[in-house]
Amino acid sequence: MPRAAPILAALALAAGLAPAQPTIGPDETAEAFITRWNEWAHETDPNQQLLADLQAASDTAWDAYLAVQERYQVFAPMPLEDVTAPGNWPAAQAAAEAIAPHTARIRELLASPHLALPFPGPEREAERRAQAAAAFESAPWRTDEGAIKIEQPPLPTTMLEMYFLGDSDGYQVRTSVTRLSSEWQYIHHIGNLGQAVSIILAYLDAYRLLAERGTPLDVLQAMGVESTATNAVLAMLNRHGRRARDGSLETLQSALLDHAQRRRPLSQSFWLDERVFVELLPAWFDPDQPDRLNERGRAYLDDLGISESLAEWADPNNRYTLSNPPPIDAQFAPASEQIRVYTAIAEAYARDAARKPHAIEELESARLFRSTLGADPDRRLAPALSRFFNHNISFELDLRYDIRLRATLTILAVHRHRARTGAWPESLADIDPAVMRFDPIDPHSGEPFGYAVIDDQPTLWSAGPDRKNDDARPIPQPPAPPEGEFPRRPHHRWFTLNEWNALPPEAQAEYDGDIILFPPPSDD
């Protein structure tokens, strides 16, 4: 970057002007776009201090935790995790006071305008691959940060393999959210709603920073932060909603509505991944034997063992699973044919992702995938078909998070109605449209969410996978799975209309009931 660029960028930012965020051109290579993106990211933060400052504030907050632990002989990892535990209150209060200056600094940094994360360079490839492999081998499928649940789906290394699209830069942002979540536990417990709202707004700032690049790994991390924010809102309303003022509720509602406009669905985050795959695929073939993979291509295909082991969890409807993958030294269709098939399915997937879930009879991309697989018994198209392994879970994650965000906005409007009138609305239709401010549609059914006041408590629910309103009767929970197996969560599933109609009655019965969204369940 020219030496004058940081000075000009600083002057532009001081004047409140942000350089235009780059978008990839139709004929632009991924390498050229990433170069342009990084130039823009450096213009928004010429000294690239944001991540370092976030890490420093998170580290000092952690040091403050450790000092409190030593002083009070509290041996739990975080004194604020359970402020109601016997004898833990003095330590929790001391820890909250000790970290307050550092969490205030975190909130200030996350709210900084015109900041973006750059893509990592090739010099970090070995470090990134090692981190991805270690995370896959050791990370739990679900991370509990205090009482705030953060979904963390498993990421096969194949998803991070191409063109440095995954890196650990988002780690500093997620660590800062962890520190804020710890503080939120205490603030929530003592009922300081103003401070609790400011922390939730910081979560949304963290989402923006994580999701801006828009790659699958970025969006997955951002979805975890969104989950932290919505769960915090629901927990706060469940405990303190009756005394919340309309002004605070409106502030949260406005922030979440703005967030809803700019949030990135996971199913629409594969745009750069697709461009990179098409550009790099030819380099995976042996130039002397165009139907054979070279060492890099064989290493990629060897990673499919990971995908196969997770297929039952990630793709239970068998929409995009490559069964019986060929040996890595097999003969394959040439790169041009791989690209043609891959592009056709990817374009169909993009069309599917733009459709309304409740009305989808059949996924065009899944039909094309299965027909291609059926016509390819020797799996000569395995390199292309293998790229869709994570696409099924993207649909279901998007649906789950969309429902949670819509439910949060809906229950905020319910509480705003009470704050303004002194009573719970008898139905969602009773809420003034100027208070509701959006259409509270359940993505599972295409109809308004289920709502009732039960024992003087507002109750909100989704129809769930069967698309049928069962008057807040919850879907039965299956028994705990044997050790080492993934838990079955029927309320996380989604079926096309054709898939649902093809299920036998006993299988449909597993989903008979509703998804209770408020009051928030203890574990979902």
How far is 167 from 174, CA to CA, in rounded Å? Answer: 13
Contact 98, 79 (CB under 8 A): no
Q: How many CA atoms lie within 13 A of 51 on its CB side?
A: 15
Q: Give me the percent of the chain exceeding a pLDDT of 70.
A: 80
Distance of CA 524 to the CA centre of its chain: 15
| pLDDT tops 90 at residue 73 | no
Give the pLDDT confidence score for residue 407 in this predicted structure. 97
Give the pLDDT confidence score for residue 168 in this predicted structure. 53
Higher pLDDT, 413 or 46: 413
Going by pLDDT thresholds of 50, 70 and 90, the confidence category of residue 78 is low
**Each residue of 415-429: pLDDT tens digit?**
999 999 999 999 999
Give the pLDDT confidence score for residue 2 in this predicted structure. 36
Per DSSP, the residues of 25-68 read -TT--HHHHHHHHHHHHHHHSTT--HHHHHHHHHHHHHHHHHHH
The average pLDDT across 215-234 equals 90
As a whole number of Å, the end-to-end CA separation of the chain is 48
Going by pLDDT thresholds of 50, 70 and 90, the confidence category of residue 144 is very low
| pLDDT tops 60 at residue 440 | yes
Give the pLDDT confidence score for residue 297 in this predicted structure. 84
Beta bridge partners of 283: none
Give the pLDDT confidence score for residue 171 in this predicted structure. 73
**Each residue of 147-167: pLDDT tens digit?**
333 333 333 333 333 333 444
| pLDDT tops 70 at residue 57 | yes
Give the pLDDT confidence score for residue 279 in this predicted structure. 87
Prediction pTM value:
0.86
| pLDDT tops 50 at residue 462 | yes
The average pLDDT across 315-331 equals 85
Give the pLDDT confidence score for residue 84 in this predicted structure. 57
| pLDDT tops 70 at residue 295 | yes
Lowest mean pLDDT among 2-16, 75-89, 193-207: 2-16
How far is 399 from 357, CA to CA, in rounded Å? Answer: 8
How far is 266 from 217, CA to CA, in rounded Å? Answer: 9
| pLDDT tops 90 at residue 443 | yes
Per DSSP, the residues of 199-242 read HHHHHHHHHHHHHSS--HHHHHHHHHHHHHHHHHHHHHHHHHGG
> Which one, of 326, 330, 304, lies nearest residue 387 by Cα?
304
Contact 400, 492 (CB under 8 A): yes
What's the mean pLDDT when you consider all of the chain? 82
**Each residue of 259-279: pLDDT tens digit?**
999 998 999 888 888 888 888
